[in-house]
Structure 1
């Protein structure tokens, strides 16, 4: 198993008292598998993704990624895990505005010490970005920016890709095209994919679907592998 969550719970302090976001989550993800996380707003989807990425800490339970228990890592260790093992794709693109498309594409791979010019060239071609390499993010459409964000993540060949509503800012046609590209490239690299989405239609394109309801996994909706 590439990812294992055991009895994971998470709550936050509010003015009205503790707000429980996740309760008793048990979840596993095989290498090369794609899983969609669905659920209403506030059901805990993004929180779960952030916990797996080591961007937040569970109150209870264990999270193991690629054999490493995240709770046993310090900030430096979690940052190293994100560089070497975990890639992230966000709804807001999060490109570096001062870097060209070419430099954005290479950024994570260079940080991880895995820059491969041939693989970047292949990604650039597959994503249809050859004519855009000298441009800056502000000169791109939303769909183009998301393709750069996907290429930047996959350039480092992560074992796990975490995607939080990656097509949420795109129109349906553009989102479908970007999603098809991402799924194809994730499969080609052998990466696993854990993706948050509100779209049942997009969720149906992945191997499994796990539905969160009020911070718990709704077994009646889950679609197993």
Structure 2
């Protein structure tokens, strides 16, 4: 059976105003043998409501790029604009506020808080952002099939259930930009497909931009655009 074809996105900005704009991003890491270049000039744009799959093999720099966009690390060179604000110009307090209020992140390892119930995990990011909305949280719990699980703790959940909680937690604060790093990597194919389907439905409902790192061409094809990170930069369309 042939693998699904992958449509590479144009590096040019989408027609709608850019929510996210990355220009000439570079990042290296120090090693005993000298600097190891990971990103060597990455540029991309994402509009509100747009969904973009960031493809590439393990070690290609996908996680590094997401961490830089998510204001979790600093680039060596280049620019990242979110809603027109260049994140490199922000101090640590402002960067923390950006992470709380504008960006939602879904990790491959779930990163739920073991001492909190499902309901408390769902509310965690929204409370930090000052946007806790019990009605929106109830809708998320219903859409994600979490209503019977709200009093449970993460260790009492399956992997798919934990990932649905992670998606709900990220969306509970109504972020403008949702980042997901191999969000189905620890799930079987059927569960992973279901989690991604729910995520895409909720992204469409909220109108946030969605950037997902994945090595799966099949999953990438479900998003509206695809780019390939290779040798530290994005492959041409």
Same fold, TM exceeding 0.5? Answer: yes
Greater RCO, CA 8 A, separation 6+: 2
For residues 199 and 111 of structure 2, what CA distance do their matches in structure 1 show?
17
Q: Which residue number corresponds to residue 46 of structure 2?
A: 29
| 2:190 is equivalent to residue 173 of structure 1 | yes
TM-score, length-scaled by structure 1: 0.96
Structure 2: distance between partners of 1:113 and 1:7:
34
Partner of 2:60: 43
1:76 is displaced (CA, Å) by 1.2
Tell me the distance in 1 between the aligned counterparts of 2:215 and 2:53: 9
Alignment pair present for 1:120 and 2:137: yes
1:105 to 119, 122, 134: 122
Instruction: Report the Cα offset of residue 14 of structure 1.
Output: 0.3
Aligned to 1:137: 154
Q: Equivalents in 2 of 1:145, 1:57: separation in Å?
A: 29
**Aligned partner of 1:54 among 67, 71, 79:** 71
Cα distance in 1 for residues equivalent to 2:161 and 2:227? 29
Instruction: In structure 2, list runs of 5 or more residues that go unmatched.
Output: 1-17
Give 1:42 shift: 1.5
Is contact 1:88-1:163 (8 Å) kept? yes
The C-alpha deviation readout for 1:114-146, integer Å capped at 9, x for no partner, is 111111111110011111010000000000000
**Structure 1 stretches of 4+ moved >2 Å:** none
1:9 aligns with: 26
1:147 paired with 2:164, answer yes
Give the superposed CA RMSD. 0.7
Which secondary structure does the structure 2 equivalent of 1:58 belong to?
A: coil
Query: 1:184 corresponds to which residue?
Result: 201
Kindly indicate whether the alpha-carbon contact (under 8 Å) linking 1:42 and 1:214 is maintained by their aligned counterparts in 2: no
1:160 CA displacement: 0.2
Aligned residues: 220
